[in-house]
Amino acid sequence: MNGPAAVEIIRFDHRHHAHLLPGYVSLYQRVYAQAPWNEYLMCSRHRHDHPAVGLTEAADPESVACAICGAPLMVYWPADEVRSDIEGDLRHPHASLHLAVTGQQVVGLAVGYALPLGQMDRKLRLPGTTAALKTFFGTQSDEMEVAYFSDIAVDPAFRRNHIARRLFLDRLRVFAEARVWYGVTRTKGDPEPSVTYKWYTSDGMGFTVVNRYDDDRGRVVLAKRIIDLFCLLGGPYVPPEEGK
């Protein structure tokens, strides 16, 4: 049976869930192959400098050449790269990967980890982000850890069933337990907002734009005092300790 009731949310643990990694990789590749990312194929010689934008998932990487230089195309997100990226992400403090699973099929993913506020300029490769976040959160501390919500994605066939919300809340719980009160994420906001942007800025979530990239990809940095969302986790609310 498909449907929201049959979908289980798990916190990924390598010791028990290694068999789900191929499903994670496949979902990641499928979501990034779609608009607005269109990261399906790219030029094997010039990589991201000559992406194969416009080709659909029906295109065979072996049979099509780069429209700019003629070199063969390659898969934009090779499986081993997706795997090593997630392994790197999971080495950060308070990192976790949450999966939505039905049977053996992975239909949703959410990743996040904590980073010191002072590292956000470098992490996001956008000068001024740390300063903008300090103003937004009302802190001067470079050491204060913020919750970075990395990727979130749900299989198109399973969307609008609150699976992303369930994944996000599971991820949020880990940050709440770690006493990380402030959240940051990045997605495409301009000129046509991505679905992820609509999702993060929807009423229940309430993230707001704190910084913008000055390039043609339209990406924005979003932030939110996630401590304001902890009430959604149910159970008793644990107030922050004095001075923390």
* Least separation in angstroms between CB 192 and ligand COA: 12
The answer to whether the CB of 98 falls within 8 A of the CB of 90 is no
Interacting partner of 39 out of ligand COA, Zn ion, none (Cβ under 5 to 8 A depending on kind): none
Among 94, 159, 212, 225, binds ligand COA (CB under 6 A): 159
Give the range of 40-48, 190-198, 219-227, 233-241 binding ligand COA by CB under 6 A.
190-198
Answer yes or no whether residue 146 interacts with ligand COA by CB under 6 A.
no
Closer by beta carbon to Zn ion, 69 or else 238: 69
Strands 41-43 and 219-224: unpaired
* Least separation in angstroms between CB 143 and ligand COA: 27
Helix and strand totals (H; E) in the chain: 7, 10
> Distance from CA of residue 32 to its chain's centroid?
11
How many residues bind ligand COA (CB under 6 A)? The answer is 18
6-39 burial, b at 16+ Cβ within 10 Å, e below that, comes to ebebbebeeeebeebbebbbebbbebbbeebbbb
Residues at the site binding ligand COA, with contacts judged by CB under 6 A: 31, 151-154, 159-165, 187, 195-196, 198-199, 202
